[in-house]
Amino acid sequence: MRKLTPLLLLVISLSAFSQNSTLKISSYSATPAGYLNLLKPNSEIRDNTILNESIVDLADVYLTDSILPRKFERHQLAMVGGFTRMFGRRWLTINWRKEKYVGSARNGFRIPGDKEHFTEYDVNINLVPHLKRHIDLAFAGHLRQKEIGRKKKKHNNYSAPPFIYPDDKTDLNEYDLHCELSPPRNYRSMINELVYPIIAGNSATKHRHFGDENFTVGLYGAFVSDCNHSCHPEIHPYEWLWWLNVHPDTDSELDSKTWVFGLFREGSNRFPKWSPKPRTGSIEIPFVFPADKKELLIEMEHLVFSRFNKEGFSQLKDIPADAMTFDKTEWKFSVAEDALQNISIILKTNAPIIQSEIKFWFSSLNFDREKGLISGKLHLATSVEDLYTAKIRFSY
The 10s digit of each residue's pLDDT in 265-286 is: 999 999 999 999 999 999 999 9
E strands in the chain? 21-24, 60-63, 72-73, 91-93, 99-110, 123-128, 177-181, 216-226, 232-244, 256-264, 279-290, 295-305, 324-325, 330-336, 344-349, 358-368, 373-384, 387-395
Which pLDDT value is given to residue 151?
Answer: 80
Residue range 116-133: average pLDDT?
94
User: pLDDT at residue 13 above 80?
Assistant: no
pLDDT confidence tier of residue 116, bands split at 50, 70 and 90: confident
Which pLDDT value is given to residue 12?
Answer: 39
Which pLDDT value is given to residue 76?
Answer: 64
Q: pLDDT over 70 for what percent of the chain?
A: 92
Residue range 227-239: average pLDDT?
94
Residue range 87-108: average pLDDT?
90
Burial 147-172 (b: 16+ CB within 10 A, else e): ebbeeeeeeeeeeebbbbebeeeeeb
Which pLDDT value is given to residue 19?
Answer: 52
In the predicted model, what is the mean pLDDT of the chain? 92
User: pLDDT at residue 368 above 80?
Assistant: yes
Which pLDDT value is given to residue 86?
Answer: 46
Residue range 339-368: average pLDDT?
94
Strands laid side by side in the 279-290 sheet: 60-63, 279-290, 373-384, 358-368, 324-325
pLDDT confidence tier of residue 114, bands split at 50, 70 and 90: confident
Which pLDDT value is given to residue 336?
Answer: 80
Which pLDDT value is given to residue 5?
Answer: 44
Please state the pTM of the whole predicted model.
Answer: 0.92
Q: Identify the CA nearest to 272 among candidates 101, 115, 91, 116.
A: 91
pLDDT confidence tier of residue 81, bands split at 50, 70 and 90: very low
User: pLDDT at residue 194 above 90?
Assistant: yes
310-327 pLDDT, tens digit per residue, is 999 999 999 999 999 999
Which pLDDT value is given to residue 164?
Answer: 97
Q: Is 364 left (phi over 0), alpha (psi -120 to 50) or beta?
A: left
User: pLDDT at residue 103 above 50?
Assistant: yes
Residue range 376-389: average pLDDT?
98
DSSP code, position 322? T
